[in-house]
Amino acid sequence: MSSSLIAVSHVYKSVTDATGTLDILRDIDFSLNAQQTLAIVGASGSGKSTLLAIMAGLDTPTQGTVHIAGQDLFLLDEDQRAALRAKHIGFVFQSFQLLAPLTALENVMLPLELSGHPNPKPVAKEMLARVGLSERLNHYPKVMSGGEQQRVALARAFVVKPDVLLADEPTGSLDHATGEKVMALMLDLNQELGTTLVLVTHDIALSQRCDQRLLIEAGQAQLIG
Ligand SMILES: Nc1ncnc2c1ncn2[C@@H]1O[C@H](COP(=O)(O)OP(=O)(O)OP(=O)(O)O)[C@@H](O)[C@H]1O
Ligand SMILES: [Mg+2]
């Protein structure tokens, strides 16, 4: 187990509210080695975002474990988990989650600043250029289009060159050409830096560019061709 970069072992997730209990994930079990690319596919509401959030330690499983680089995510306390995440994981949310009071450039500089980078500005500018946003450095999220915000979120996740990039529909708000550029950027990082890529996508063509595809259906996962 500790030899894989990510090991998801017998993960269950149920949520209970006034209307009853919903079993979102039932016994999800797979592992990924460094440098692999995995697409997670499945219908809307099948639990893809829930699984990704559990893999990042942002949500907790009802049962089961997730190991990242040999560490059991849920045996760590909140601070240790945040430190592990900062060291290894980049996360792109389906809802972008940019910080509204910060410009595009400041949003991308922030993770570099938090990790003590000596010269964040040129590095952040370079990453924004790679996602095609050199002309939008000083714009605030509220004046950017959905696709532009998505690209800022991607630049923010990429800029620290994480070992693992977990991306929830990273091209979902982009036109075909821009989506292609972003996918190419993710695959470049996978090649150049050995970034392990886990990608939720509804786009069959994108999923086929990953090494493996994991289909989530009725709370269960299976690797498909
Ligand atoms: N905290 C929660 N309380 C109640 N239901 C929840 C909660 N979180 C998720 N769900 C439900 O669990 C199911 C899975 O949600 P999830 O967001 O993981 O789906 P998804 O596969 O990412 O869907 P999409 O493709 O639309 O993004 C959905 O039916 C959702 O409504
Ligand atoms: Mg989702």
- Which ligand has its closest atom nearest to the C-alpha of 168? 2
Q: What residues are in contact with ligand 1 under a 6 Å CB criterion?
A: 15, 17, 22, 24, 42, 44-50, 94
The ligand minimizing its distance to the Cα of 20 is 1
What spacing in Å lies between the alpha carbon of 202 and ligand 2's midpoint? 10
Position 179 confidence tier, pLDDT thresholds 50, 70, 90: confident
- Centroid of ligand 1 to alpha carbon of 51 (angstroms): 10
Rg (alpha carbons) of the chain, rounded to whole number:
17
Does position 2 have pLDDT exceeding 60, yes or no? no
Better-scored residue on pLDDT, 178 or 61: 61
Residue 126 alpha carbon to ligand 1 centre in Å = 35
pLDDT at residue 135, as a whole number: 97
Ligand nearest to the CA of 51: 1
Beta bridge partners of 51: none
State residue 189's pLDDT score: 82
Q: Which residues are CB-neighbours of 130 under 8 A, at least 6 positions away? A: 155, 158, 185
Task: State the pTM of this model.
Answer: 0.91
Given a contact cutoff of 8 angstroms between Cβ atoms, the answer to whether 58 and 91 are in contact is yes
Nearest atom in ligand 1 to the alpha carbon of residue 169 is 27
- Residue 53 CA: nearest ligand 1 atom is 18
| Average pLDDT taken over every residue of the chain | 92
Model pLDDT for residues 117-138, shown as the tens digit of each residue: 999 999 999 999 998 999 999 9
Confidence of residue 83 (pLDDT cuts 50, 70, 90): confident
**Contact yes or no for 200/207 (Cβ under 8 A):** no
Q: How many CA atoms lie within 13 A of 77 on its CB side?
A: 1
Task: Output the residue whose Cα is nearest ligand 1's atom 8.
Answer: 50
Residue 56 is predicted with a pLDDT of 93
Question: Which domains are seen in the chain, by residue range?
Answer: 34-57+75-224 (3.40.50.300)
Would the pLDDT of 209 be above 60? yes
Give, using CA atoms, the residue closest to atom 7 of ligand 1: 15
Q: Is residue 204's pLDDT more than 70?
A: yes
Give the model's pLDDT for residue 1: 43
Spacing, Cα 203 to ligand 2 middle (Å) = 13
CA of 224 to the centre of ligand 2 (A): 19
- When pLDDT is averaged across residues 66-93 and rounded to a whole number, the result is 91
* pLDDT of residue 95 exceeding 60: yes
- Going by C-alpha positions, the residue among 79, 57, 77, 58 that lies closest to residue 67 is 57
For residue 225, pLDDT beyond 90:
no
Specify the pLDDT at position 181. 83
Q: pLDDT class for 13, splitting at 50, 70, 90?
A: very high
Neighbours of 152 (CB within 10 A): 27
45-58: average pLDDT: 95
| Full strand arrangement of the beta sheet holding 164-168 | 89-92, 164-168, 196-200, 37-41, 212-217, 220-224
How many whole angstroms separate alpha carbon 89 and alpha carbon 4?
A: 15
Secondary structure of 50-107 as H, E, C letters:
HHHHHHCCCCCCCEEEEEECCEEHHHCCHHHHHHHHHHHEEEECCCCCCCCCCCHHHH
Mean pLDDT confidence for 184-198: 88
Answer yes or no: is pLDDT of 168 > 80: yes
CA–centroid distance, 50 to ligand 1, in Å, is 6
